[in-house]
Amino acid sequence: MRPADEAATKPHGSAAAAGAPLLDVAHVSKRFDSAGGAILAIDDVSFSVAQGRFVSIIGPSGCGKSTLFNIIGGLIGGYDGRVSVSGETVRGTHPSIGMVFQEQSTFPWRTVLENVAFPLEIAGVPKTERHARAERFIAMVGLAGFAARYPAELSGGMRQRVAIAIALLNRPDLVIADEPTTALDVTIQGQILYEMQKLTQETGTALIWITHDLSVIAGLADRVCVMYAGRIVEQGSAQAVLGAPRHPYTRGLLDSVPSNNTRGGRLAQIPGMTPSLLELPRALT
């Protein structure tokens, strides 16, 4: 059986022990060298994700979200701590993890069908079979009538759905998405998030949605982790974190969301700037 075929038929979480988390991130830290000195981009981060759950990681630009994304996906090594999927330590890219990047990476000269089927083409799956499987996932993300179109004929939201279909193609146990809807219309953001939540419920795939926009995940995520200056400063159920935030950044983020109660008034702002990782205040070191 080819690896791609095996991935398509395996049950979700088959390697996980009963009651164990699908993803476990334990005390992960990562430093980068720079001209100004060593930067602690990720500082002792720990959290877990259960099978079929929707977890959001929120935080300001530069807080370490994308670095954490690449560590979990196996694209960055040389870190302290441990990342494991179904009890297996992640070393390099992992077949149980699908990734959706900030930028929509498609081949402009390939149709939607050919783009989605490309990973199966690399794996040597016969054309008829790979196209049939790709068509199922294209339909799953709501693009059934666009398989023969080219990326240039699609809107930004539709191209992002193509990227999601590619990430789901081998039925990964976990999908991690790094701010994939940041540049999209709020309505499209909501549609894509709703579809992803529906997919987690229907397939058992776990989802990590990394964003800086609290409003797009409110009411959809099961759990929320708040990152600030390389650390997870607050985490818990979405209801607990958003209903009774404990960290000043979370509180400020919630206060800055426009509401009908402040119509016509000035929007709240979070004063100051995110601290430099080279010069963290004493309270953060």
What are the tens digits of pLDDT across the range 35-56?
877 889 999 999 999 988 999 9
Q: Which of 26-30, 161-165, 187-191 has the lowest mean pLDDT?
A: 187-191
Indicate if the pLDDT at residue 221 is higher than 80: yes
This prediction's pTM: 0.83
pLDDT of residue 254: 84
138: its two tokens: 């294209």
Residue 114 predicted with pLDDT over 50:
yes
- Does the pLDDT value for residue 3 go beyond 80? no
The Cα–Cα gap between 10 and 172 comes to 9
Quick one: pLDDT at residue 127? 94
Average pLDDT of the chain?
83
Please give the Cα distance from 88 to 173 (Å, whole number): 13
Sheet bearing 231-237, strands edge to edge = 97-100, 174-178, 206-211, 54-58, 223-228, 231-237
Please check the confidence at residue 151 and state whether its pLDDT lies above 50: yes
Start-to-end CA span in the chain (Å) = 51
d(CA 224, CA 49): 11
d(CA 163, CA 103): 9
User: What pLDDT digit, counting tens, does each position of 152-169 carry?
Assistant: 999 887 888 898 889 888
Q: What is the pLDDT of residue 70?
A: 94
**pLDDT attached to residue 167:** 87
Q: Judge contact between 93 and 75, C-beta under 8 A.
A: yes
Contact 7, 168 (CB under 8 A): no
Q: Are 112 and 140 contacting, i.e. CB atoms less than 8 angstroms apart?
A: no
82 CB-near residues (< 8 Å, 6+ apart): 24, 25, 26, 27, 28, 89
- Per-residue pLDDT at 5 exceeds 90: no
Greater confidence (111 vs 212) lies with 111
Q: What domains are there in the chain, each with its CATH number?
A: 20-96+208-249 (3.40.50.300)
pLDDT tens digits, 73-97: 999 999 999 999 998 998 888 888 9
